[in-house]
Amino acid sequence: MNPDSKNFYEVARGLTSWLFTTDHKRIGILYLICVMTFFVIAALLGITIRLELFSSNSEAGGSLLGGGEIYNRILTLHGVIMIFLFIIPAIPGVFGNFFLPIMIGAEDVSFPRINLLSWYCYIIGAALALFAILSGAIDTGWTFYVPYSAKTGANLILPLSAAYMLGWSSILTGINFIVTVHRLRAKEMKMFRMPLFVWASYATGWIQVIATPVVGITLILLLLERFLGIGIFDPTKGGDPILYQHMFWIYSHPAVYVMVLPAMGVVSEIIPTFSRKTIFGYSFIAWSTMAIAAIGSLVWAHHMFTSGMADESRILFSFLTFFVAVPSAVKIFNWLATMYKGSIHLEPPMIFGLIFVLLFSIGGFTGLMNGTLSIDIHIHDTAFVVGHFHYTMFGGVGVMFFGALLYWFPKMFGRNYNKKIIYLCGFLFFVGFNMLYGTMKWLGIQGMPRRYADYVPEYEFWNRVATVGSWVMVGGLFLMIFHLLYSVFKGSKAEDNPWEGTTLEWQTTSPPPLVNFNEPPQIPEKPYDYPEEVKS
């Protein structure tokens, strides 16, 4: 390695060198700053929701927030920020941008300027969304269901255009990843030599390209319905509101795979690295990634079981929903088989990888319960559903966002963090998480509805447990975020390959130079191939 070469931070300084950069690594860092900021805001809002639910108002003391309306706005804000501004862009925007080109031995993505444009779409969308929710109450929830959303007096232009902009940000990122994978792989980097995180980003790109336009046009039709009365969703003119729900979920269900596939990709990087063992069933994981992307597009109407659809159709969608579990289970078993007889190093990223496998499995099983038509009728719109999607989205994607951050932190910033502090944070997070969302599932089965600001006193004990859990969990997370922030500036210098990783990003310097590699990287025959001496 050439010690004189400057890393990508050092080649230029100043704000404009960041705001007008087309370097994929810098765009990744830009995303990281935004995504982290929004995560902290939304986590604080979540804490506020739990505080309101700490006690049942019907006893004594009254409502903390002084009424349901503020509670509804905070709830909507928490959901919108977490979904659109954190989970969807988090892993593709930060780690996809930063590492996808490096992992396939490319200098940059195929369309660097469009990459920057996608970040600006994200920023504009974020600004519009925040402004919309702060300037007036959105009383439709994040799904904007008709006919109410076509009639409500609330101003929907801002939130709808925000969703549209964020959709474009997502599409542009997806296009960039697909083309980069097809065109910019290094010569010996065949499709089936690519690291699994690249496969996951590739599949995600496809969902983004195919599904996002559907919701884009749906939102535009909703605006036209409001202002021009086109009647497509208006029952008084012959329109069908359930069609809106179909169109909405044709995107919004595959969107959960946009969120979770990259997280699974990161797990597939972390587990072989810290087991010092070749991943078990590489091509099965690669294909199951594509299978999830495909089957995930067939199941959207399981969100609509109580909407008045045809019975036959409901049974069909319930049936199809079970199939999504198959490729997910393939991945889980392959990860476990990878660890079997491996030389497991319980470094912080591996701890988070294991937390992912456990929590996501629990979330997956409760997902099957939700997908079962007869059970779903009972638990629809209860706290059980809230518990379920927090296990998959937060316990899955959120955990893996932090897992990826811990895994690639030395590479991105060239610094180390204090492992002991991270172990403590991981422990607090895990305990608090299960106190919070595990109890929510229990409450939901007992019949506690979601989205309500109040409940009958019988639910109070478990709600208090959940609220205490939220403090423990967020305490652990915030401690980790502040420690990592501190380590960016004060941590000790990191080596080029602290985890003995085999993928290409570990062959370059920490942090990488502007062109990613000072010397052409060595492409291994198989990804995650560990020689015998490292294994023992």
Partner 1 sequence: MSELAAAEHGHDHYDPEANKLGFWLFLFTELLLFGTMFIAFAMYQDMYKIEFIEGTHHQNIILGTVNTIVLLTSSLTMALAIQALRRGLKTLSIAYMAFTIVCSAGFCVIKFIEWSAKYHKGIFLLNENMDTLPKGEQVYYGLYFTMTGFHAFHVLVGALLIIWVMVAVAKGKVHAKRLSFIDNVGLFWHLVDLVWIFLFPLFYLIR
Partner 2 sequence: MSEDKSEHIMPVIGYVGIWLCLIFLTGVTVAVSFVDMQNLTLFTALFVATIKSTLVLLYFMHLRHDQPIIFYMILACLGSYAVFVILTYSDYLYR
The residue among 250 and 325 lying less far from partner 1, judged by its C-beta, is: 250
Least separation in angstroms between residue 15's CB and partner 1 is 11
Angle between helices 196-228 and 241-275 (to 10 degrees): 160
Residue 301 binding: pick among partner 1, partner 2, none (C-beta 5-8 Å cut-off by kind): partner 2
What does the radius of gyration of the chain's CA atoms come to, in whole angstroms? Answer: 23
Exposure string of 266-300, with b = 16+ CB inside 10 Å and e = fewer, is: bbbbbbbbbbbbbbbbbebbbebbbbbbbbbbebb
Q: Which does 15 bind (CB under 5 to 8 A by kind): partner 2, partner 1, none?
A: none
481 binds partner 1 (CB under 8 A): no
When asked if residue 242 is in the footprint of partner 2 (CB under 8 A), the reply is yes
**Which of partner 1, partner 2, none sits in contact with 358, Cβ below 5 to 8 A by type?**
none
The number of C-alpha atoms within 13 Å of 147 and in the hemisphere containing its C-beta is 13
Q: What is the chain's percent helix, strand, coil content, to nearest 5?
A: 70, 0, 30
Tokens representing residue 435 in the block = 């106190």
* 182 binding partner 1? (CB under 8 A): yes
| 182 contributes a contact to partner 2 by CB under 8 A | yes
515, interface contact from partner 1, partner 2, none, CB < 5-8 Å by kind: partner 1
Contact between 281 and partner 1 per CB under 8 A: no
Note whether 514 binds partner 1 by CB under 8 A: yes
Q: How many CB atoms neighbour CB 12 within 10 A? A: 14
Q: How far is the CB of 237 from partner 2 (least distance, A)?
A: 18
Question: Does 290 help bind partner 1 (rule: CB under 8 A)?
Answer: no
Please report how close the Cβ of residue 314 comes to partner 2 at its closest, in angstroms: 8
Dist CA 504 CA 517 (whole Å): 9
| Angle (CA) 507 513 515, round 5° | 95
The one among 41, 117, 137, 209 contacting partner 1 by CB under 8 A: 209
Q: Which range of residues in 47-55, 304-312, 403-411, 500-508 is near partner 2 by CB under 8 A?
A: 304-312
Contact call for residue 21 and partner 2 (CB under 8 A): no
- 103: contact with partner 2 by CB under 8 A: no
Residue 508 to residue 177: CA distance in whole angstroms: 21
**Does 190 interact with partner 2 (rule: CB under 8 A)?**
no
Tell me if 291 contacts partner 2 by CB under 8 A.
Answer: no
Stretch that binds partner 1, among 40-48, 232-240, 272-280, 349-357 (CB under 8 A): 232-240
The Cβ of residue 460 has, within 10 Å, a number of other Cβ atoms equal to: 16
111 binds partner 1 (CB under 8 A): yes
Asked whether 399 and 351 are in contact (CB, 8 A), the reply is no
Q: Which does residue 217 bind out of partner 2, partner 1, none, counting CB within 5 to 8 angstroms by kind?
A: partner 1
- Our finding on whether 218 is near partner 1 (CB under 8 A) is yes
The C-alpha atoms of residue 380 and residue 314 are separated, in whole angstroms, by 14
How far is Cα 501 from Cα 359, in angstroms, rounded to an integer?
A: 25
Work out the burial of residue 64: count CB atoms within 10 Å of its CB; fewer than 13 is exposed, 13-18 middle, 19 or more buried. middle
Q: Least distance (Å) from partner 2 to the CB of residue 15?
A: 34
Burial degree of 369 (CB within 10 A; 0-12, 13-18, 19+): middle
Using the minimum distance from each CB to partner 2, give the nearer residue, 218 or 467: 218
Q: CA–CA separation, 196 vs 282, rounded Å?
A: 8
| Closer of 81 and 242 to partner 2 (Cβ) | 242
- Give a three-class secondary structure readout of 448-501: CECCCCCCCHHHHHHHHHHHHHHHHHHHHHHHHHHHHHHHHHHCCECCCCCCCC
* Contact status: 531 vs partner 1 (CB under 8 A): no
Contact of residue 64 among partner 2, partner 1, none (CB under 5-8 Å per partner type)? none
Which one, 237 or 345, has the nearer CB to partner 1? 237
By the rule CB under 8 A, 191 interacts with partner 2: no
246 near partner 2, rule: CB under 8 A:
yes
User: In this structure, what token pair is assigned to residue 54?
Assistant: 């700490």
Of 230-238, 265-273, 392-400, 499-507: span binding partner 1 (CB under 8 A): 230-238
- Decide if 49 contacts 137 (C-beta within 8 A): no
User: Residues in the site for partner 1, rule: CB under 8 A?
Assistant: 11-12, 14, 16-17, 21-23, 107-108, 110-112, 114, 171, 174-176, 178-179, 182-184, 209-214, 216-218, 221, 224, 228-232, 237-240, 243, 246-247, 250, 514-515
User: Residues in the site for partner 2, rule: CB under 8 A?
Assistant: 182, 206, 210, 214, 242-243, 246, 250, 294, 297-298, 300-301, 309-313, 316-317
